[in-house]
Structure 1
Amino acid sequence: MTKRTIVVGTRQSQLALTQTGQVIDALEKLCAEHRLPFKFEIRKIMTKGDRILDVTLSKVGGKGLFVKEIEQAMLDKEIDLAVHSMKDMPSELPEGLINGAIPQRVEPRDALISKEGLSLEELPHGAKVGTSSLRRSSQLRAKRPDLQLESIRGNIDSRLRKLETEGFDAIILAAAGLKRMGWEDRISSLLPVDVCLPAVGQGALGLECREDDAELMALLSLYNDHITSLTVTAERRFLAVLNGGCQVPIGAFAVWNEAAGDVAAGSGTGLITLTGMVGAPDGSLILKESLTGDDPVQLGEDVAQKLILQGADRILAAVRE
């Protein structure tokens, strides 16, 4: 049987290559189990977000900073599949592309890495903390206005080096990336979601492909995690209504409350609780709402509308100016 080669596009960072390799390993096992005629090849692609490292994400502007070039390669049929960190993906995908699978989510929270192994509460007054995210800095300023927050860009490994070389007392990173790299031992503490709500989709991966690629879609459906797909859908709908991206101070996190049924088979019933936030960059105002429902799309819309009624759209408009 002739095997079709699936060309998988990925960013060039160590984390991107590691998680792409982990996904390919899982897909190869599924192919062997179900006798599917596929093999896989990785193609590295440089994105705008990877090229521009000397300014904060919010100042680079635009959505899809880490995915646009990869998506174009897919539309041009230079690649067939892309493995993205879901938090980097715009809420709306280009016409013709689809998330074929969202595998099981890993740790969604943000991680504090400090030189002395201290927690956020234990950091000394005026400690210098590095983060490239307006979402994180907004919430940290609300919790600890004394902290000196400074931008830190680059891949995980380069940011960990900067912790040692550029005078930071601590840095904030997504815990999921550290776990996928096997670097959990670097985590000093995990930030509770009531202190720092994660980015939309944080801890989840998106496997993007062309929606007319029925063969590949059939394989990816075997790898999709039902609960992660539902909860991330609620978060992404929330983001879409607010017209947000990874460079604005928006956070959301949805959890599944199982009621009955075989969830693994996709037939489980339950409710989703979604918490969303929009914050002023200086931490002076944090808007936050939680709702529970059984329709992830409607739930995302409802939480977003509640925040809009409180002025979230005005905060975001000011940030984008």
Structure 2
Amino acid sequence: MPNQQVDLALAFLQAQPRAAAKILEKQSVEQLADFLSNVPHTYGANVVGQFLPQYTARLCELLAPNVAAGLLSEMNVSLVAAIMRHCSEELSAQLLGLLPEKTRLACWLLLTYSEDAVGAWMIANVSTLPDDCNVGEAQSRVKSEQGTVDFGTILVVDRERHLQGLMHLPALMRASRSTPVVAVMQRSSDTLSARTALPTAANHPLWADRDSIPVANRNQQLVGLLRHVDLRRGLEQISSHIEAPDDADPIAGIYATYGKSLLALFDTVSDLASTETGKRN
């Protein structure tokens, strides 16, 4: 397959993961597993993240554990936890052991909540700041922080981990270094309980002007953040309703442009995998 077509297909995987997923789902799960084993994780994870967790779990059963873990490590932790719920206990334990430590711990926390609870879909590894630091100290913390999800707002907590306010990153970077963080933050103690059922959480009035809400445990200690996009994903997951496809296929034009290159890449990779398997046998 010409390099130009390979580049085009990989670019399609990265730029249009939802459309690519729809195309690749038409292949057998075994063929798709072979394909993903030979595609860089950063490209494959974009597409795998569009599959239903049950389907991704089936893929993980067929992939080499290091390949499956490589794909999962590129995904949102809440989605990883949702996938783990559909894997065998043995595979889940194996994959968790291969994930980066922060991802593993955050995923384990999410798995302690029932699937229909806010805690199962929150982001656990969010940026936080103590309320007794100044702006200069906060800036240093933010710059050196690794493994947390950046959503533009940092949560400010007291030493007991109770939410005190929200710090918007641009405001933090503009403020004088000697200014106390509490003087710059937006005061707020509003949280969702991690045990709240998703349908109940969906009706919370805070969604009217926010796209994410902090999450607290039964002791009102901060444990994460629920994004509205993850709330919707969770509601779709726990619902048995499957929407019928629209009469007009919105990706028809995309398929006409990129689909053939993607399938050609799929066939090429699958053929190479089959050839290598034959050589080993």
TM-score tier, shorter chain, comes to under 0.3
Structure with bigger helix share is 2
TM-score by length of 1: 0.25
The structure that has the greater radius of gyration is 2
Structure with bigger strand share is 1
TM-score by length of 2: 0.27
